[in-house]
Each structure stands twice: as C-alpha cells, then as structure tokens.
Amino acid sequence: MTRLDLSDPAIIERLTAVLEAAGVEGIEITRPDQSLLIRLSGSANGSASQVRSSRADNRGEPVVVKAPMAGEFWPSDLSRTGAPGASAASDAVGFLRVGPILLPVAAGSSKRLRRHLVDQGTIVGFGDPIAEVEPEV
Amino acid sequence: MMQSPQRFDTVLIANRGEIALRVVRACREMGLKTVVVCSETDRDAAYAASADQSICIGPSTASKSYLNQNAILLAARLSGAGAVHPGYGFLSENTRFSAAVEDAGMTFIGPDASAIATMGDKIAAKRAMVAAGVPCVPGPDTELPVEPEAIRAIATEIGYPVIVKAAGGGGGRGMRVVLDEAGLLESVALTREEARKAFGTPALYMEKFLQHPRHIEIQVLCDTHGNAVWLGHRDCSMQRRHQKVVEEAPAPGISLELIGPVGAACVKACRQIGYRGVGTFEFLYEDGAFYFIEMNTRLQVEHPVTEETSGVDIVRQQLRVAQGETLSMGQGDVTCTGHAIECRINAEDPATFMPSAGVITTLELPEGEGVRVDTHVEAGYKVSPYYDSLIAKLIVHGRDRADAMQRTRVALASFRLEGIATNLPLLRELFEDAAFAEGETDIHYLEKWLKTRGAA
C-alpha cells in the first residue's frame, strides 16, 4: 500500500475538507517519519495545519528549512526575525499562507531558529529555503 | 448556457518547456502578466525566469507538479492570476481541471469542461460529428454491445478488417485491429479489459480499419459569441509509434475544393457543441475521402505550421477569445499562403530512440528567411529525464513545398546541438528521402523507412 505523504498540500487540503464536512475540530496523525496536526479554528482565518518531519539530526550543524509548498511566507514571531539563537515559537519557523489556509512550517523537534531567509510577505515556492535552524543546546 | 468570460491581466501557465515560453511571449505581446509554475527540475531554467513570476509547485515527478491540480490552483490563487493556460499535454484536456479553474473564479484558456468531456468520449464525439455532417469512419456511433452475435453482426456489416477502440482512449492507445472473424471476440475481450484498466470505462466501439491512410488535421478557432473559422489543414502522417515527427501545412495533394466542405462541417460542429477556443479535428484520409477520428480540445504541438501559412497567431487568438473578444476575422479573411514544415527536435538517440538526458554544451540555432525555432533550451541547459523528450521545434516557411523542403534541409544542416543525443541526424536523412520529398506518404511510411535502414 502506498504511504501518504503528509506534507503534500493536496492531502492536507483533502483531509481538511473531510474534517470540515464531518464537523470535526481537528486531527493528529503520528508516524515514525512524519506527523500531521490539523486544527479547524472556525474563524475567518480558516484552518491551520502543521507538519512535522522527524529525520536524523546533524548535531551542531545549522539546518535549512524548506517550504513544503508554495505560499506567502509569514515569520512565526516577527520580533525575533533575524535574531540569532531565538527559539522558534511552537516549533514553527513561520507560516505559509494561501488564501484562507495557513500552514505552519515546523522547525523540527528541539530546534532553535537561527534566522529567516526570506522576508515577510515573500511568495515562496516548493523547496525554497525559508529559515535556518540549529539544535537547541 | 455558455459562461461569460471575464477580463484578466495575469495568466498562469500550467505547463513547461517550449510551450510555456511560447505562451509567455504571446501574453507579453498583449500586455498580459505571466506566472509560470515549475517543478524542482525546472526551477532554475531560463525560460521560467522569463515570466513575470515563477512558482515552484512540487518535486520533479509530473504527478506531484505539472499534474498536481491542487498545487497549480494554489499557485494561481497565490499569484492573483485571472486565467490559466494549460498548454498541451499534462492537464490540457482534463475535464476536472477545466471545471476546477472556472469554479475557482478564473478563466480556463480552452473549452469548457462539457466540450472536453464530449470530445474525450470517442462515442459521444462521433455522434456529435455525425450530427454536424463531419465524415466519419464507417461503423455505428454507439457503444459495442456485449452479446457475441451482435458484435459479429456489426463487424460483418462494416466489413473486415475492423478496428476495436476504447471509448475513453485516444492518441493511438486502446485499440486493436481485427483481420477476420476468427480473432474478433478475443480481441474485443482483451481491448475491453485494457480499456477498463487504462481509461476507467470498458466502453468500446468498432470502425472500419483503413490500411494506408494519411493523418490530416483541420485547425479551428471559435469565440464565445458563436463565431468560428477553420485555419487550413495539416498533414501529420510522418509518425513513429503514433508520435508525430514532422508536420506540414497544407497537406500535399489535397485541394481546397476537396477539403473545403470538411472544414465547413468542422466549423458547424463547433457551433453545435458550443465550442470555444482552439481545437483540432483529426482525420484519416484514404482514396480521396476523409474519416474523422478524434478532436483535440487544446493547442497542438504543431500549431506553428498553421500560424506560418495563415498568418494568424493562434496563441494570441486563444487569449483574445478567453477575454471574451469577438473573432477579428471571418472565414473569408482566412488565406493560407506557401508551405510550412515543422520538425520536432527530440532529445533521443537517432537509432534506438532511447531518451537522452544531460547538459547541452553547444547550441547554434538556424536562422534565415522563413526559419523559426520554438525552444526553451540554451547552451548549458540540462535536459531532464522526467519529461517529454521534445526540446525544440524547427519551423520553416517556403513559397511552396519544394522550397520549404529545401529550406528545411539547409536549416537542419546548420542546426548544431551538442552534449546530448538528438534526432537531428535522422531528420537530415529523412529529408533526403525521395518518397518523402515527393509527398503524400501514409502514416506507416516512417516505420517502414526506419526498418529498411535497420533502426526501427
């Protein structure tokens, strides 16, 4: 059986639509390699989903976080943008916004935001580097 | 009722390569902004940078990028595009995509979903053509029954050899030739099972099998106000495994008096089904008669030969029609002059036809009067193994066929492309062939010619 790619925007959108139709507020899927959390806020801002991918850490090395889909980039915490060593709020280095959908981009577990690589409001594509993170000491 | 088109100032191009660049050029000439979506492989290609904006939408695999409807629609929303041009291939004839674009409040630059669906179902298409008086291959315009006796009766009435085709097929896929009654039922059963698996429907139909036909096309252009014209005809008989290699306009040896009524019937069919945009009626031609096989509801790879002979920029006309404009020409204004030939330059081994990937180290394009090259590649471009091997189209216009052939020989000789294998040597050899130079060869000619030179 083919394994779903939980970072695929189409999968996230489909799951979101199913949750909305079913009147469910959210879902969390956890696998050894990926986890997905979708929460439907019911507000005008629509739904929010969060994808975490757990992979082997290169300890001490900064890691570039890439956009999992195209979207308008919003840093997770504007006051910390560009501040080396600042913690990434809620493991998210920022958000990708497309219309009513806001997709948090995860830094990964035990990661600190080193710097953002794109400005707020920049349209980024799939695979574009958006932030650098480093392991929390 | 046809949906009234909306004006737009930004076009998202849901395609790649030379056709993406071709659409960018047309948009720019009309003052429209362009957004090109691309995969990771094409992210750094120069053609993507030629658009006002390029957005990477996914990995190299087409199913996750150029065939990913949701990713394309998200990119369209993100960029504020008012229209989507699908190019050819990929999602260009996808009913769901056309509908999804329009449901999202944008204009699909092509026919609406119902017209694509009608023409995608070969039985429904044939029925529509019969109603408009378009000549079709002998055989019923209904689905083949399942009862053996009824199948035998239809084949006998048509006369052997017959061809069994999948209603959802096309482009040479999902068909089987039956020479006599002995192999009939087994062939039907096999084709039905293949159709069920490949096209999602087991529906079949049966037609007379023509043994030595030529492949002739008629290009149409329709607006949303009930106006339609045909822009002349093309001969695309030079094929290998149903893939066109050389196309030309007009089709040699076919007079306007002979094809004129067929063109008029195609225009009538377009009006009857409420068709909008550009489209191509494909026919088999044998013994002086035309037989409709299918309609392509999109821009064709070979559209430039018609542009060269008719003087009509087909992509710009597509964009105008999508904006809701009335056709600026009537049938009386369409005049085709001279002869045009298109060679598809493919990144493939000229002997084995295996795709060739790698970096183009040298590229010198032919130039001169009547010579046009549509391509997205340049020296240093990396040809990817992920997509179709078409890397350039050489289009040559001459005062007549002999002149166009000679100009093409000269252009092919000066076309330098190094670093990867291409079919240029094969094309150079083919243009020296006496029978091809004479013209009017059938759809099997190239394969036979390849066998005689030991390369099929």
Q: Is B57 on the interface with A (CB under 8 A)?
A: yes
Query: Smallest Cβ distance to A70: which of B55, B59, B64?
Result: B55
Beta strands in B6-160 (DSSP E): 10-13, 33-39, 53-58, 83-85, 107-108
pTM for the model stands at: 0.85
> Are residue B150 and residue B259 in the same domain, yes or no?
no
Which residues on A lie below 8 Å from B64 (Cβ)?
8
* Domain final position from B60, B94, B109: B109
Nearest CB to B68; choose among A10, A72, A99: A10
Residue A114's pLDDT is what?
Answer: 87
Measured distance CA(B283)–CA(B299) in Å, rounded: 17
State the pLDDT at residue B193.
93
Q: What is the CATH number of the domain that holds B175?
A: 3.30.1490.20
Please report whether residue A28 resides in a domain: yes
The answer, for B68 touching chain A at a CB cutoff of 8 Å, is yes
pLDDT of residue A88: 45
Give the three-state DSSP class for B40. coil
SS3 B60: coil
Q: Is B43 an 8 Å CB contact of chain A?
A: yes
In a domain, A2, yes or no: no
pLDDT of A90 reads 53
Range of the domain at B166: 138-208
Segments of chain B with pLDDT less than 50: 1, 455-456
Residue B75 belongs to domain with CATH number: 3.40.50.20
Opening angle at CA B398, ends B397 and B401, nearest 5 = 110
Quick check: ipTM above 0.85?
no
Domain count, chain B: 3
Do B394 and B447 fall within a single domain?
yes
**Per-residue pLDDT in tens (0 to 9) along chain A, 137 residues:** 456 777 766 677 777 777 777 777 778 887 777 777 777 755 444 455 555 544 444 556 788 999 999 999 998 764 444 444 444 445 788 999 988 788 889 877 667 888 999 999 999 999 999 999 888 76
| Domain stop point among B190, B208, B226 | B208
Same domain membership, residue B89 and residue B221: no
Does residue B173 belong to the interface with chain A, where contact is any CB pair within 8 Å? no
Write out pLDDT tens, residues B350-385. Answer: 999 999 999 999 999 999 999 999 999 999 999 999
Number of CB atoms found within 10 A of residue B166's CB: 23
Domain range for A27 is 9-135
Q: Which of B64, B93, B109 is the last residue of a domain?
A: B109
For residue range B61-103, what is the model confidence (pLDDT) as tens digits?
A: 999 999 999 999 999 999 999 999 999 999 999 999 999 999 9
Kindly report, residue by residue over B179-192, the tens digit of the pLDDT: 999 999 999 999 99
Does residue B127 fall inside a structural domain?
Answer: no
Same domain, B194 and B218: no
pLDDT for the residue numbered B90: 96
Identify all chain B residues contacting A69, using CB atoms and an 8 Å cutoff.
57-58, 71, 74
Number of domains in chain A: 1
CATH code at position A66: 2.40.50.100
Burial of B107-118, coded b for 16+ CB within 10 Å and e otherwise, reads bbbbbbbebbbb
